[in-house]
Amino acid sequence: MNQYLNDPEYLFSILTALVKKNGGKITISKEDMAQVSKGDLIGMYYEPKTDNLILKEVEPEDMLQASSMVRDKKDEVYEN
C-alpha cells in the first residue's frame, strides 16, 4: 500500500472520492489545518472481505508496532 501513498494521482483519486461521498464539498478551515501536525499519522488499509479502502487515524505506537511486524515477517503475504 505504501506505493499508493507516494502516487499523486492515486491520492487525488482518494480526495475526489471523499469529496463526492460528502455531497460534493468538504470545507477545511484554517483552524482545521492548524490542528494537523507532522506527528499525526493516517493508515491506509485494504479490507479484502468488503473490497473497501479504509483510511484511519493511527497512534504512533501502533504504527511502530506494525512496522516491526512487517520487518520481522518479510516473506509473509499481507492484504493490508
Could you tell me the mean pLDDT of each successive run of 10 residues in the chain, 80 residues long?
Answer: 80 96 97 92 89 89 57 47
Residue 13 grid cell: 483519486
Give pLDDT, residue 1.
59
CB 10 within 8 A of CB 4: yes
At 22, the amino acid letter reads N
Residue 8 grid cell: 499523486
pTM tops 0.75: no
Q: What are residue 9's DSSP bridge partners?
A: none
CA 45 to chain centre: 7
79, exposed or middle or buried, with CB in 10 Å at 0-12, 13-18, 19+?
Answer: exposed
